């Protein structure tokens, strides 16, 4: 859609400038319409204050807002807000604070609120922004000019990015959109399904406090890619910014199982000023350092299906169930749970205890998300994937103008195709992943003398994740320790597992399906003897001494996680000849790569 160019006015952020913004705008723009769009129409504004700058580090404090009167609003910030809040006082006293005022001929209240919200999503994902301030997320629902929102925002961002002196504050959209922070941001616009779920959660939280309850539980369920993480992030941010009648804020914790996601949430919390390492942490740390005698108000648990139901050295509680321990330490727990993403025997609930838990909390406290938010594909492609994952059958791969599925006869060709996709600046991050069917140990070196533990078929091989030597920083000066596995540039030369990509999006994903996954009598089966995933295939001993094996459930879950990573495309190769042939037949000649 073609839209008009935005009008972007720049000025120093100070008392003296604020008092004459309107007059300066009139002097700067000879076109009376442009003057009106900035003075009389709704506008979006960005206040930035540069911090320490060096060759490898660029630091900004930023505030984003919208208003119907830019001069009055700026004076309110400089006077009233600066007296009440230290962050505004700091901006007022800075001698290098600067402001963009952004107008557009089609701006109305709803559109400017959406632009403000999207600006927060983008800026919170910029490495150079260390602190980002705003009140609450303001994403709008439907309105008359809603279709113009994206093209207008893109015009605004691209115009800002074209300013050489602000290239670190406004990098290219393609760079931002592939970051893990961008995808988990609380400023993602929610679907109607997610908004309904959010309203239910906030209503239930309020009821818990009105009734002075404790240990309450809300379960948010849904398949991989259903938008559970974005919903959690959004609700967490709203509650973190909310101030009660007594002037107190909610005490919140965000509990994250994977190291990869922990980094993402900690960066989001730090930039937005809504938490730190004491409030965004791993479940075991929370259980060990928080007491049932002083419960937090709300505990959010991302990917609660990964919580342990068995003791180990780092988790020695008498309950031997992390979710129950978390409930003891919170008035209400909001937990994301997907049975089809349980990956380890230590995460399996004993007998029918999870079903009893669901029954005990009641249907009103179980929220189901049914939309597919990650995979940008037509319905027939989603159905094809569901048939592979849930029914173990491979039908004909449908035609899809939005989503690309290809089958490769050689894994090296699939690797090269993923590298090409990753190198294309118009795409996001693309990576290779594999089922855990090849040996790996973080404690020892391969017995054959190889430098790396590797995924290998014939002459082709790739190192398993976390083995390739990494520099301290990327070429852009970003520390590797602040990036998830997929975001680290050198990992294009590694192959990931469920432990590095679960919960993350990839633009294109190349899946090497190992020897544990076979096709027998037209059905996909999983042969545990061929898997190297000990946590999935070894027996579990329960409290009553009973030994059980869950490989028949856990290995399909592993394949489910890998197949549902790609936003725009899925590339496939299988080691098992029968499965490979079935995939080739399903793809047809045009989508089988020699």
DSSP annotation string for 454-513 = EEEETTEEEEBTT-S---SB-TTS-BGGGS-TTTSGGGGGSEE-HHHHTT--EEEEEEEE
Check pLDDT > 90 for residue 33.
yes
pLDDT of residue 121: 95
> Which pLDDT does position 56 carry in this prediction?
61
Contact 229, 302 (CB under 8 A): yes
Q: What is the pLDDT of residue 590?
A: 77
Q: What are phi and psi of 131, to 5 degrees?
A: -145, 130
Residues of the chain above pLDDT 90, percent:
77
Q: Is 59 exposed, middle or buried (0-12, 13-18, 19+ CB in 10 A)?
A: middle
Mean local confidence (pLDDT), 203-228:
93
Collapsed DSSP state (helix, strand, coil) of residue 348:
coil
Q: What would the mean pLDDT of 356-379 be, rounded to a whole number?
A: 94
Concatenate the DSSP letters of all residues of 519-567 into one string: EETTEEEE-GGG---HHHHS-EE-TTS-EE--HHHHHHHHHHHHHT-EE
Q: Which of 35, 31, 32, 33 is nearest to 21 (CA)?
A: 35
- What is the average per-residue pLDDT within 443-449? 89
By residue count, the chain amounts to 594
Provide the token pair at 589.
Answer: 């000649």
**Torsion sign over Cα 343, 348, 351, 354:** negative
For the cut 70, the answer to whether the pLDDT of residue 54 exceeds it is no
Please give the residue that has the higher pLDDT: either 58 or 547.
547
Determine the angle formed by the axes of helices 379-391 and 551-563, rounding to 10 degrees.
Answer: 160
Sign of CA dihedral 259, 265, 268, 272: negative
**Residues 131, 137, 140, 141: is their CA dihedral positive or negative?**
positive
Task: Give residue 245's pLDDT.
Answer: 56
Query: Of all helices (H) and strands (E), which one includes residue 586?
Result: helix 577-587
473 vs 441: which has the higher pLDDT: 441
Q: Are strands 566-574 and 506-513 parallel, antiparallel or unpaired?
A: parallel
With a cut of 70, say whether residue 59 has pLDDT above it.
yes
Which pLDDT score is estimated for 10? 97
Between CA 587 and CA 407 the distance in angstroms is: 7
> Mean of the pLDDT values across residues 472-499?
88
Q: What's the pLDDT band for 246 if we cut at 50, 70, 90? A: low
The token pair that represents 55 in the structure block: 């060759």
> What does the alpha-carbon distance between residue 111 and residue 41 come to, in Å, rounded to a whole number?
12
Mean pLDDT, residues 229-244 taken together: 88
Burial of 480 from C-beta contacts in 10 A (0-12 / 13-18 / 19+)? middle
Whole-prediction pTM value?
A: 0.91
**pLDDT (tens digit per residue) in 494-526:** 999 998 999 889 999 999 999 999 999 999 999
| 259-282: average pLDDT | 90
Q: Please, which pLDDT band fits residue 278 given cuts at 50, 70 and 90?
A: confident
Q: Helices in 282-437 by DSSP H: which ranges?
A: 283-289, 322-328, 353-361, 379-391, 411-423
**pLDDT digits 0-9 by tens, 313-339:** 788 888 889 999 999 999 999 999 999
Tell me what percent of the chain is helix, strand and coil, each rounded to the nearest 5.
Answer: 40, 20, 40
User: Rounded to an integer, what distance in angstroms lies between the CA atom of residue 173 and that of residue 250?
Assistant: 34
């Amino acid at each position: 859609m073609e839209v008009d160019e935005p009008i972007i006015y720049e000025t120093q952020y100070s008392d003296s400038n604020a008092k004459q913004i309107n007059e300066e705008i009139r002097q700067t723009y000879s076109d009376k319409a442009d003057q009106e769009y900035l003075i009389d129409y709704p506008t979006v504004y960005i206040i930035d204050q540069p911090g320490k700058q060096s060759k490898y580090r660029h630091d900004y404090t930023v505030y984003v807002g919208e208003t119907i009167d830019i001069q009055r609003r700026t004076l309110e910030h400089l006077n009233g807000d600066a007296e009440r809040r230290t962050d505004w006082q700091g901006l007022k006293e800075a001698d290098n604070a600067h402001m963009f005022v952004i107008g557009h001929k089609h701006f109305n209240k709803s559109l400017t609120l959406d632009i403000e919200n999207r600006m927060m999503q983008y800026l919170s994902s910029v490495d150079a922004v260390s602190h980002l301030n705003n009140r609450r997320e303001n994403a709008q629902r439907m309105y008359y000019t809603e279709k113009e929102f994206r093209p207008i925002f893109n015009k605004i961002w691209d115009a800002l990015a074209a300013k050489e002196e602000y290239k670190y504050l406004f990098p290219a959209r393609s760079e931002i959109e592939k970051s893990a922070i961008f995808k988990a941001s609380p400023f993602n616009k929610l679907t109607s399904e997610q908004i309904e779920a959010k309203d239910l959660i906030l209503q239930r939280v309020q009821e818990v406090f009105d009734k002075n309850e404790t240990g309450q539980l809300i379960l948010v369920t849904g398949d991989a890619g259903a938008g559970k993480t974005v919903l959690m992030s959004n609700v967490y941010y709203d509650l973190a910014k909310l101030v009660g009648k007594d002037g107190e804020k909610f005490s919140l914790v965000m509990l994250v199982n994977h190291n990869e996601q922990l980094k993402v949430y900690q960066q989001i919390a730090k930039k937005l000023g809504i938490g730190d390492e004491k409030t965004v942490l791993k479940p075991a740390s929370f259980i060990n350092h928080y007491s049932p005698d002083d419960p937090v108000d709300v505990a959010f648990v991302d990917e609660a299906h990964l919580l342990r139901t068995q003791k180990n050295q780092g988790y020695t509680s008498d309950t031997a169930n992390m979710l129950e321990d978390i409930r003891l330490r919170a008035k209400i727990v909001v937990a994301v749970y997907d049975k089809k993403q349980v990956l380890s025997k230590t995460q399996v609930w004993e007998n029918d205890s999870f079903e009893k838990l669901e029954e005990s909390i009641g249907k009103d406290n179980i929220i189901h998300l049914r939309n597919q938010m990650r995979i940008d594909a037509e319905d027939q492609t989603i159905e094809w994937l569901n048939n592979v994952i849930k029914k173990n059958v491979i039908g004909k791969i449908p035609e899809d103008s939005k989503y690309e599925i290809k089958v490769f006869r050689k894994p090296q060709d699939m690797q090269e195709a993923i590298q090409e996709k990753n190198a294309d600046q118009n795409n996001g991050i693309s990576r290779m992943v594999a089922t855990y069917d090849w040996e790996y140990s973080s404690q020892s070196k391969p017995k054959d003398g190889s430098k790396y533990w590797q995924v290998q078929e014939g002459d082709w091989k790739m190192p398993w994740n976390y083995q390739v030597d990494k520099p301290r920083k990327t070429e852009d000066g970003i520390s590797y320790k602040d990036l998830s596995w997929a975001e680290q540039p050198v990992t294009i030369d590694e192959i990931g597992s469920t432990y590095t990509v679960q919960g993350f999006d990839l633009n294109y994903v190349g899946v090497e399906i190992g020897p544990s996954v076979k096709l027998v009598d037209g059905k996909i089966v999983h042969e545990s003897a061929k898997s190297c995933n000990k946590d999935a295939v070894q027996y579990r001993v329960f409290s009553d001494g009973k030994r059980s094996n869950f490989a028949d459930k856990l290995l399909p879950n592993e394949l489910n996680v890998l197949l549902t990573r790609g936003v725009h495309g899925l590339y496939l190769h299988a080691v098992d000849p029968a499965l490979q042939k079935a995939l080739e037949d399903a793809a047809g000649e045009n989508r089988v790569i020699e």
